[in-house]
Amino acid sequence: MKPYVVTVTLNPAIDKTVIVDKLQIGGLNRVQSVRMDPGGKGINVARVLHQFGVPVTATGLIAGAQGQTLLQYLAVERITANFLTIAGETRTNLKVVDASSNITTEINEAGFVVGEKEINTFKIQLAKLLEGASYLVLSGSLPPQVEYGIYRELTVIAKSKNVKTILDADDEALFSGIQAAPFAIKPNIHELGKLAGREMADDQDIIHAAREIMEKGIELIIVSMGAQGAIILDREETYRVRTGSIVPQSTVGAGDSMVAVLAYSLLNQYSLAETAQWVTAAGTITASKPGTQVCSLVEVQQFLHNVQVERM
């Protein structure tokens, strides 16, 4: 198998993380520290994959001076980037961390407006990048005025290149995307409930709903449940995963780390049980970090023994 992954971020951002002693709504807040990172879910996936030694190309759309700054951040991290530059300006996402409670408040801009011409140009660019790839990761929000069906269309392009798609989206973008039967999806428990049209009462409800969705042609599903762990299943097996207790710092990037390490595990042909362990460890480690910092390979390896995997 060709160890090469392409990640797509259609609505990237500069993530600005500020830490305050105690967030005062409506009052003056003095900042302890500021951290700037390249942002967007696909970019986060690429950052983790790069740390894990997986050849990866981050692509998507960028605009303006902030877009160039984002590319500079990626260059510093030595991540291969091939973005389409369009008119407008790349957004800034503000993360305010309350040091007294470890609660992060996110304030995200909508992003640039993208026309049909730019989307069509990007599709052509993506098709070229997928030559020789093993996996395509589609994740994150869509810019204003971009049709919800874009992830479905990009999945079809990937299939034409014999590339497997991992989809991590929500709401209408997820509903539409699964119609093209991506290889894997990673809904959280709330997104799964929306897909199934009902609330999830327990693990058996989650498994039953996921099995229903797999009938659309999806081969693997990870249902993330925050501090409660995850359920991961393919056509043959189902695993319930729990982790040892950690002190959460920020959930930003935790799901992206899970997606990245899913691709890493698939490329390394891990069993589903091993994949469940690695994926959950990655999400947990990233959640223990402030701001938008992500897990490293060594950190995940050292945490694996804290992950309990139970076959259902």
Residues tagged active-site: 256
Q: With helix as H, strand as E and coil as C, how does the chain read?
A: CCCCEEEEECCCEEEEEEEECCCCCCCCCCEEEEEEEEECHHHHHHHHHHHCCCCEEEEEEEEHHHHHHHHHHHHHCCCEEEEEEECCCCEEEEEEEECCCCEEEEEECCCCCCCHHHHHHHHHHHHHHCCCCCEEEEECCCCCCCCCCHHHHHHHHHHHCCCEEEEECCHHHHHHHHHHCCCEECCEHHHHHHHHCCCCCCHHHHHHHHHHHHCCCCCEEEEECHHHCEEEEECCCEEEEEECCCCCCCCCCHHHHHHHHHHHHHHCCCCHHHHHHHHHHHHHHHHCCCCCCCCCHHHHHHHHHHEEEEEC
In this structure, the number of other CB atoms found within 10 A of the CB of residue 65 comes to: 9
Which residues share a beta bridge with 95?
Answer: 17, 106
Residue with tokens 């530059």: 85
